[in-house]
Amino acid sequence: MKKTNKGYLVVARIQLHSLTPKTGNVLGFELQIDDNQGGGKQNVAKWNDKTNESWRNTSQYGILTFVGKNKHGH
C-alpha cells in the first residue's frame, strides 16, 4: 500500500487455485478496507457495495472480468 496525494494505491495479487481464468470470464468480487485507528472501525472503503451488506449478501458484489495479460506479461 502506498499513500498518494489522492489517497492510497493498493496493488494485490490473488492466487486462483480452483479456477482457470480465461479472457472474458467473469467472477463476483468485492474488496473492503476498514480503518481502525485503535478505537474501533472509523471508516470503510468498498469497491462496489453501497449497502454495507456484502459481508452477508453476495448479490452486492461487483463483477470482475478477466481481460488477459498486461504489457508486463501478468
pLDDT tens-digit map of 11-39:
888 888 888 888 999 999 998 888 777 77
* Residues 68, 74: Cα–Cα separation, whole Å: 8
* Residues 33, 42: Cα–Cα separation, whole Å: 11
Pairing of strands 32-36, 41-46: antiparallel
What range does the domain containing 68 cover?
19-74
In a domain, 56, yes or no: yes
Number of domains present in the structure of the chain: 1
Which pLDDT score, from 0 to 100, does residue 42 have? 75
In a domain, 1, yes or no: no
Query: Taking the model in full, what pTM does it have?
Result: 0.62
